[in-house]
Structure 1
């Protein structure tokens, strides 16, 4: 395992993915997610290609936002956190989601696997699936 100085974290990854339109999506994904990356969100598994399609969709509906990490733990190649994502959508509406996340790092410090559960704190009923929308 690489040193913690070269590991990614969820706040940096989400900021690059969602809130940096100047950064190409493929570069953001390559920076934070291993080639064999898999993610389970609210029970649904996606591979790296499906995850990238999800982020591409979010980039069309998210205008701005931020990530606040409330709790974070790293032990060996394991990562866990609880964070809140605040999003302003392109239509001006706001969504606030709390996320409980468990992850595994690849040897190079990128995420290999994430399993997360989301809890919408603010937003319309139609935003409940934002964590897995395509």
Structure 2
């Protein structure tokens, strides 16, 4: 990943999640090796009160790889202060079973100087399909 300072925060968030998700869905790479290119080993992600560490995030990639067939990240706004980002975005996804899923995300995140995600706290909610 490119450092956070290399681009506007909206573009950084879009690129981070798009390239990561593309690699998960389209790639054959081992999930742990893939994670190492985007996340620190001590990563903590709390989504709607559920704490995910490295092992739980790696385990989450396998079902995503099997079930996600199309996706798009729509970043509405993002603000950066140093290596921290606050962002509001929508994930538009189409699953192999169940059709389209649209999720609104409010995220506070900390990245390393080289662009790896170290910590994120997210609140999400499902919204109607676009």
Q: TM-score normalised to the size of structure 1?
A: 0.78
Give the counterpart of 1:19 among 11, 22, 27.
22
SS at match of 2:74: strand
RMSD: 2.4
Does the CA-based 8 Å contact 2:20-2:38 persist in structure 1?
no
1:19: how far off? 3.0
Q: Which structure 2 residues correspond to residues 1-134 of structure 1 after superposition, within 5 A?
A: 4-5=5-6, 9-20=12-23, 21-22=26-27, 24=29, 25-91=31-97, 93-122=99-128
Structure 1 stretches of 4+ moved >4 Å: none
Does the CA-based 8 Å contact 1:67-1:83 persist in structure 2?
yes
Name stretches of at least 5 consecutive residues in structure 1 with no aligned partner. Answer: 124-134
Name stretches of at least 5 consecutive residues in structure 2 with no aligned partner. Answer: none
SS at match of 1:19: helix
Distance 1:109 1:17, change over 3 A: closer
Does the CA-based 8 Å contact 1:62-1:89 persist in structure 2?
yes
CA distance in 1, matches of 2:124, 2:83: 23
- How many residue pairs get aligned? The number is 122
Which digits, 9 at most, give the CA deviation of each residue in 1:78-134, with x for residues without a partner? Answer: 1110010000111260000010000111243211001001010036xxxxxxxxxxx
CA distance in 1, matches of 2:109, 2:91: 17
CA distance in 2, matches of 1:76, 1:56: 32
